[in-house]
Copies of this chain bind each other. A is one copy, B any other.
Amino acid sequence: MSRHAKPDHPIHDLIVRRWSPYGFADRPVSAEDLRSLFEAARWAASSYNEQPWRFIIATRDDPAAFERLLGCLVEPNQAWARLAPVLALGVYQKTFARNGNDNRVAPHDLGLAVAQLTMEATARGLSVHQMAGIEPEKAAATYNVPDDAQVTTAFAIGYESAGDSRLAEGYRERDAAERTRKPLNALVFGDAFGTPHSLFE
C-alpha cells in the first residue's frame, strides 16, 4: 500500500511522495547527500534573514555520538529511531543577533528550514521522520546549548524501509496506516476565522 499523499488538488510529486516512515533501511547516507540536505535548509526564508536554525547531528557510523543523540529522544522514539542511520536535533536562536530582541517567529522559521531539508531528501530518495518527542533539557545539557537557543525537535534521516522486520509491531502497523488530513474548508478562511474562503467552500 502506497503511503503517498492522496491530494484533492494536484500538487508537486515531491510533496506527494513525502511521508514519515518509522522503518529505515540499514544503509548509510552519503556525506554528499547530507551536505546537500543541510544546504537546502540553509537557503530557507527567515525574518530579517536571521537564519535562526541550528542543527546537531550524529550518524550511526560513530556509535558513541549516535547513542548520545538518541538519548535525547523520548523512549518511544528511541525504539524506532535507533535504526535510522542519521539523527538530528532542530534548535533555534531565540533572539536577533543584531539587537537581542525576541525573535517571535524563530520556531516557525526553523520549520521552514526543516521542510526544505525534507524536500531535498525526498528528491534524493531519502526520507525524514520529524519528532516533537524529545527531552529538550537533557539535550541542552548534553550539548552545552546556551540559554538563548532552544532545542525544539529531532528528526531521523535515511532510506525508507516501511514496516521493517526489526521494528516492534506497533510501528510496523503505523507504517501501514492510512494517511489522513483535515479538508481544506476547515483550514482556509475568508471573512472570519472558521468561515471557509469562497475558493474552498
Contact with B along A94-106 (1 / 0, CB 8 A): 0000000000110
SS class, residues of chain A in contact with chain B: mixed
> Beyond A187-B53, A193-B91, is A200–B38 a contact (Cβ under 8 Å)?
yes
B193 touches A146 (CB 8 A): yes
* Total identical chains: 2
A130 touches B45 (CB 8 A): yes
Q: A101: shortest Cβ distance to chain B, in Å?
A: 12
Contact with B along A25-46 (1 / 0, CB 8 A): 0000001101110111111110
B51 touches A181 (CB 8 A): yes
What CA separation (Å) do A108 and B40 show in the bound complex?
Answer: 17
User: A176 at interface (Cβ–Cβ under 8 A)?
Assistant: no
Give me 20 A-to-B residue pairs in the complex whose CB atoms sit less than 8 angstroms apart, sorted by A's number. A7-B43, A11-B39, A12-B119, A12-B120, A39-B184, A41-B187, A45-B130, A47-B132, A55-B189, A57-B189, A57-B190, A57-B197, A57-B199, A90-B108, A105-B107, A108-B111, A112-B114, A112-B115, A144-B194, A146-B193
